[in-house]
Amino acid sequence: MAAIPAAPYPFALDPETVALIVIDMQRDFLEHGGFGASLGNDVTRLQAIVPATARLIRGFRAAGRPVIHTRECHAPDLSDCSPAKLARGKPGLRIGDAGAMGRILVKGEPGAEIVAALFPEPGETVIDKPGKGAFYATELGDVLARAGITQLVFAGVTTEVCVQTTMREANDRGFECLLAEDATESYFPEFKRAAIEMITAQGAIVGWATPVDAVLEGLAA
Ligand code: C5J
């Protein structure tokens, strides 16, 4: 165990039972012309965390620990998309509609793919998730149980939506959750700041937060 500096207090990282979850680093959220950009968001904010996220992924691979990737996307017939989610947004900019990178958030379309710089290596788990949380309607819980994982380090986008939702799901399932704060981002800086405050409040009510460097030092210790 390596106690690494973190908010709200040091996190006891266990290099034997920890895994990395990289949430939704998809072209549709990060690239110009994608879904996020078409909603009027500044995607360069999200692109800025790619180098730190890549360093974190390399550190987990080098330590021989699991790297799990998620993608928010739906079956081409949209049978896994709830009517409530499907109806959300402006016509033409809804899930399944045609976008500049193919149908928005549909499996197999270019926009649903993970950005090239963070592409999964062969053998790494990729979870396709129909919800904001990565546990809902996926095999993630079984994958983690089979691998004996008890701790999760989180990276990805967006901090206050899919990352925070998945951290909350994981916390309720008994995992110790650590957010890599410079490997996560939001289109709204104030939402990222608030999400980190909510996660770490009241003695780590959802989990801890720390920079990528501290995670990497803990892994190497
Ligand atoms: C959103 C996500 N924001 N990955 N998805 O719709 O956070």
Pocket test for ligand 1, best of 35, 95, 159, 162 (most atoms within 8 A of CB): 162
Q: Is residue 46 a contact partner of residue 182, using CB atoms and an 8 Å limit?
A: no
Question: What's the pTM value of the predicted model, to 2 decimals?
Answer: 0.98
Q: What is the pLDDT of residue 8?
A: 98
CA distance 93 to 84: 15
CA 157–ligand 1 middle distance (angstroms): 6
| 142 CB-near residues (< 8 Å, 6+ apart) | none
Q: Is residue 108 a contact partner of residue 172, using CB atoms and an 8 Å limit?
A: no
Q: What is the pLDDT along the chain (221 residues), one digit of tens a residue?
A: 889 999 999 999 999 999 999 999 999 999 999 999 999 999 999 999 999 999 999 999 999 999 999 999 999 999 999 999 999 999 999 999 999 999 999 999 999 999 999 999 999 999 999 999 999 999 999 999 999 999 999 999 999 999 999 999 999 999 999 999 999 999 999 999 999 999 999 999 999 999 999 999 999 98
Superfamily of domain 15-31+42-75+114-220: Isochorismatase-like (3.40.50.850)
Q: Is residue 190 a contact partner of residue 160, using CB atoms and an 8 Å limit?
A: no
Q: Is residue 96 a contact partner of residue 86, using CB atoms and an 8 Å limit?
A: yes
Q: What is the pLDDT of residue 115?
A: 98
Catalytic center residues: 24, 129, 162
Q: Which residues line ligand 1 (CB under 6 A)?
A: 24, 29, 72, 157-158, 161-162
Q: What is the pLDDT of residue 138?
A: 98
- Ligand 1 atom closest to Cα of 23? 4
Query: Tens digits of per-residue pLDDT, 135-174?
Result: 999 999 999 999 999 999 999 999 999 999 999 999 999 9
